[in-house]
Amino acid sequence: MPYPISGSCQCGGVKYTLLSAPNLIAACHCKACQKLSTSAFSLTAMVDANTIEFEGEMQEWSRSSDSGNVSSAKFCPTCGNRIYHFNPAEPEKIKLKPSNLSDTSIIQPTVHIWVSEKQDWFQIPENVTVFDRQF
Protein backbone atom coordinates (compact mmCIF):
# COMPACT_ATOMS: atom_id res chain seq x y z
CA MET A 1 0.00 0.00 0.00
CA PRO A 2 1.51 3.32 -0.99
CA TYR A 3 1.39 6.11 1.57
CA PRO A 4 0.18 8.71 2.25
CA ILE A 5 -3.45 7.55 2.50
CA SER A 6 -6.36 9.80 3.42
CA GLY A 7 -9.37 9.38 5.64
CA SER A 8 -12.35 11.39 6.82
CA CYS A 9 -15.43 11.30 8.99
CA GLN A 10 -18.83 10.56 7.46
CA CYS A 11 -19.69 14.19 6.71
CA GLY A 12 -16.17 15.19 5.59
CA GLY A 13 -15.78 17.88 8.26
CA VAL A 14 -12.70 16.13 9.67
CA LYS A 15 -10.03 14.86 7.30
CA TYR A 16 -6.65 13.31 7.88
CA THR A 17 -3.63 12.00 6.06
CA LEU A 18 -1.77 8.93 7.31
CA LEU A 19 1.83 9.34 6.17
CA SER A 20 3.10 5.81 6.86
CA ALA A 21 1.90 2.33 7.77
CA PRO A 22 0.42 1.71 11.22
CA ASN A 23 2.61 0.06 13.83
CA LEU A 24 -0.15 -2.43 14.63
CA ILE A 25 -3.82 -3.05 13.88
CA ALA A 26 -5.90 -4.52 16.69
CA ALA A 27 -9.47 -5.72 17.14
CA CYS A 28 -10.77 -4.96 20.63
CA HIS A 29 -13.63 -7.09 21.95
CA CYS A 30 -14.25 -5.24 25.24
CA LYS A 31 -17.82 -4.20 26.07
CA ALA A 32 -16.97 -0.49 25.64
CA CYS A 33 -15.69 -1.13 22.10
CA GLN A 34 -18.76 -3.21 21.32
CA LYS A 35 -20.89 -0.20 22.30
CA LEU A 36 -18.67 2.14 20.25
CA SER A 37 -18.82 0.04 17.10
CA THR A 38 -22.35 -1.32 17.60
CA SER A 39 -20.78 -4.62 16.57
CA ALA A 40 -18.66 -7.46 17.97
CA PHE A 41 -15.45 -5.43 18.19
CA SER A 42 -13.78 -2.13 17.32
CA LEU A 43 -10.75 -1.75 15.06
CA THR A 44 -7.76 0.36 16.02
CA ALA A 45 -4.62 1.24 14.07
CA MET A 46 -1.77 2.20 16.38
CA VAL A 47 0.19 5.08 14.81
CA ASP A 48 2.76 7.59 15.96
CA ALA A 49 1.34 11.11 16.24
CA ASN A 50 4.05 12.47 13.92
CA THR A 51 2.85 10.18 11.10
CA ILE A 52 -0.64 11.65 10.82
CA GLU A 53 -1.98 15.10 9.91
CA PHE A 54 -5.50 16.24 10.86
CA GLU A 55 -7.69 18.94 9.35
CA GLY A 56 -10.98 20.21 10.76
CA GLU A 57 -12.49 20.78 14.18
CA MET A 58 -12.84 17.87 16.59
CA GLN A 59 -14.48 17.53 19.97
CA GLU A 60 -13.12 15.41 22.81
CA TRP A 61 -14.66 12.98 25.28
CA SER A 62 -12.79 11.11 28.03
CA ARG A 63 -13.42 8.20 30.38
CA SER A 64 -11.40 6.10 32.82
CA SER A 65 -10.30 2.71 31.55
CA ASP A 66 -9.98 -0.56 33.47
CA SER A 67 -6.20 -0.02 33.64
CA GLY A 68 -6.70 3.27 35.50
CA ASN A 69 -5.52 5.28 32.48
CA VAL A 70 -7.66 7.89 30.76
CA SER A 71 -9.08 6.98 27.38
CA SER A 72 -9.86 10.12 25.38
CA ALA A 73 -11.66 10.18 22.05
CA LYS A 74 -11.57 12.77 19.29
CA PHE A 75 -14.64 12.92 17.07
CA CYS A 76 -16.42 15.08 14.51
CA PRO A 77 -18.84 17.47 16.23
CA THR A 78 -21.20 17.37 13.23
CA CYS A 79 -21.61 13.66 12.39
CA GLY A 80 -20.21 12.21 15.63
CA ASN A 81 -17.83 9.86 13.82
CA ARG A 82 -14.90 8.79 16.05
CA ILE A 83 -11.54 9.63 14.48
CA TYR A 84 -9.08 8.44 17.11
CA HIS A 85 -8.48 7.62 20.77
CA PHE A 86 -5.47 8.48 22.91
CA ASN A 87 -4.17 8.50 26.46
CA PRO A 88 -3.43 12.13 27.46
CA ALA A 89 -0.35 10.86 29.33
CA GLU A 90 0.99 9.51 26.00
CA PRO A 91 -0.02 12.06 23.34
CA GLU A 92 2.61 10.74 20.92
CA LYS A 93 0.55 7.53 20.48
CA ILE A 94 -2.62 7.73 18.39
CA LYS A 95 -5.22 4.94 18.28
CA LEU A 96 -6.74 5.69 14.89
CA LYS A 97 -10.16 4.31 13.96
CA PRO A 98 -9.17 3.02 10.50
CA SER A 99 -12.62 2.17 9.12
CA ASN A 100 -12.86 5.76 7.89
CA LEU A 101 -9.78 5.47 5.62
CA SER A 102 -10.38 6.01 1.91
CA ASP A 103 -8.75 2.61 1.26
CA THR A 104 -9.52 0.09 3.98
CA SER A 105 -7.43 -2.70 2.45
CA ILE A 106 -4.74 -2.05 5.10
CA ILE A 107 -7.10 -3.19 7.84
CA GLN A 108 -5.73 -6.62 8.69
CA PRO A 109 -5.88 -7.06 12.49
CA THR A 110 -2.98 -9.14 13.80
CA VAL A 111 -3.91 -8.74 17.47
CA HIS A 112 -7.24 -9.40 19.21
CA ILE A 113 -7.60 -8.02 22.73
CA TRP A 114 -10.20 -8.41 25.47
CA VAL A 115 -11.26 -11.76 24.01
CA SER A 116 -12.55 -12.62 27.49
CA GLU A 117 -15.50 -10.34 26.57
CA LYS A 118 -15.90 -11.31 22.91
CA GLN A 119 -19.21 -12.37 21.44
CA ASP A 120 -19.53 -16.16 21.44
CA TRP A 121 -20.62 -16.25 17.79
CA PHE A 122 -17.46 -14.53 16.51
CA GLN A 123 -14.57 -16.82 15.53
CA ILE A 124 -11.10 -15.28 15.78
CA PRO A 125 -8.96 -16.09 12.73
CA GLU A 126 -5.98 -18.39 13.12
CA ASN A 127 -2.44 -16.98 13.17
CA VAL A 128 -3.27 -13.83 15.15
CA THR A 129 -2.09 -12.91 18.63
CA VAL A 130 -4.80 -13.11 21.29
CA PHE A 131 -5.00 -11.50 24.73
CA ASP A 132 -7.75 -12.19 27.30
CA ARG A 133 -7.56 -8.58 28.42
CA GLN A 134 -5.37 -5.58 27.48
CA PHE A 135 -1.88 -6.17 26.07
pLDDT band of 1, cuts 50, 70, 90: low
Q: From the options 3.40.190.10, 1.10.1530.10, 2.170.150.70, 1.10.1740.110, give the CATH code of 5-130.
A: 2.170.150.70
pLDDT of residue 124: 93
Closest of 78, 112, 75, 115 to residue 97, by C-alpha: 75
Locate the DSSP E strands across 33-106.
Answer: 42-48, 52-55, 59-64, 70-75, 82-86, 93-96
Mean pLDDT in residue range 40-63: 94
Instruction: Name the residue ranges covered by the structural domains of the chain.
Output: 5-130
Predicted TM-score (pTM) of this structure:
0.86
Q: Residue 72 is which amino acid?
A: S
C-alpha R_g of the chain: 14
pLDDT over 90 at 96, yes or no: yes
Residue 34: its H or E element: helix 31-37
